[in-house]
Amino acid sequence: MNASPPALDSADTDISAVSPSARPVNFLRAVLALGVGGFAIGTGEFVIMGLLPEVAKDIDVSIPQAGHVISAYALGVVIGAPVLAVLAAGWRRRALLIALMAVFAAGNFASAMAPGYMSLNLLRFATGLPHGTYFGVAALVAATLAPPGRRARAVGLVMLGLTGATLVGVPIAAWLGQLFGWRAAFVFVGLIALVAVALLRRDIPDLAPPAGASPWRELGALRRKQVWFTLGIGAIGFGGMFSVFSYIKPTLIEVAGLPLGGVPFVLALFGLGMVTGNLVGSRLADKSLMRTIGGLLVYAALVLAMFSFAAHHVVTAAINVFLIGTTVAIGPALQIRLMDVAGDAQTLAAALNHSAFNMANALGAWLGGVAIAAGLGWTSTGWVGALLALAGVGVFAWALTSARAGARADARPNDKVACEGSAG
């Protein structure tokens, strides 16, 4: 029995606003516009990690204190995704996407002018607020406009903006930050966001929200067990990637003996792995959604466990870092799964996916740090990551069991009616 509910049908969304004859052109241009917004957000989220020394020196704090701005942004994502998704449930899709991207642009410009530590943290928190809701709504719009049988690939193309940012946007922004100061990096991100606003206004159809959309209906997603199971898979099973990546630089230098100048090359391999995984994972999800989720969790556990051995040599470490990047393939699959199990609370469920990924970031980085602090060594992060991926497999199995039990319970009344009818 297939544990996943029927696929989200275009009739349940706002596809009626798009002319069928114009769909191919609109789809490609719309996905590009959505992807540019994702590119801006991805660049803004990750570039600060390479500029912490410059930030710390400029605002006169230690590097660990400067790292709090990363946590502030992540907290903004976690809080902003559900709050904005619920409050804006009745907004037309294009207007909402433009508003979210405009807030993100303003937040980056303001961050570039932050006078000190506290103001920078507050501004990074505010800048993170639209992150999750943007990606959630963008995924819904892409899935709505996609040709039949290509929903996951449409979502993957939107997410390609985020993963592509690690390969292209972040290096450019970091170079600008080192050349002109860290504030220039945020100005660069703000400018990309303004370009995205213009493209969204031009290329996204003016789609209406689902009929009867309201904050209360969106909150109904929180009453669905399968929504929580899917979020749990992301928050736990995806944390393994972050347990390794958060400490990748010192691990490569201290264990593999990689020269400092080689670190950007290996990090570029990680970004290439993310892009590859995103494209492949979305195609697999369109073919078999639940098998893709379960299979990718097992794959992640194996790849992360390999890191503990591969990290001792530069070549094997570089290859393994690329493979770890490909584990992001599970992202589009979980996004589609949330759409399928959320019923009529699509916006909130889709946005919560990115809250779950940011919780995975925090959980993986924290547990990896605990293992290192306990004296288990830099490579212990691989075992931590593998255990988190296996825990994700456990949540996935629990979700399947619960879905099957629910299906059997729903079938019993029908069986009883059939028996009574035959007896009569």
Q: What pLDDT is attached to residue 12?
A: 40
DSSP of 367-382, one letter per residue? HHHHHHHTT--TTHHH
Q: Which residues of 210-227 are buried (b: 16+ CB within 10 A; e: fewer)?
A: beebeeebbebbbebebb
Say whether pLDDT at 344 is over 60.
yes
Q: How far apart are CA 93 and CA 412, in angstroms?
A: 40
Q: Show the DSSP H helices in 220-311 as ranges.
A: 225-232, 239-245, 248-254, 263-287, 289-310
Q: What pLDDT is attached to residue 221?
A: 66
* Sequence-separated (6 or more) residues with CB below 8 Å from residue 174: 47, 50, 51, 185
Query: In a 3-state reduction of DSSP, which class is residue 349?
Result: helix
Chain centroid to CA 40: 14
pTM of the model: 0.75
Q: What pLDDT is attached to residue 119?
A: 94
Per residue in 82-139, pLDDT (tens digit) is 888 888 877 888 999 999 999 999 999 999 999 999 999 999 999 999 998 998 899 8
Q: How far apart are CA 370 and CA 301, in angstroms?
A: 19
Say whether pLDDT at 19 is over 50.
no
* Sequence-separated (6 or more) residues with CB below 8 Å from residue 126: 76, 103, 107, 110
Q: Which residue has the higher pLDDT, 186 or 222?
A: 186
Say whether pLDDT at 31 is over 50.
yes
Say whether pLDDT at 399 is over 60.
yes
**pLDDT bucket at 220, cuts 50 / 70 / 90:** low
Domains and CATH numbers, the chain: 21-209 (1.20.1250.20), 215-416 (1.20.1250.20)
Identity of residue 110: A
Q: How far apart are CA 386 and CA 411, in angstroms?
A: 38
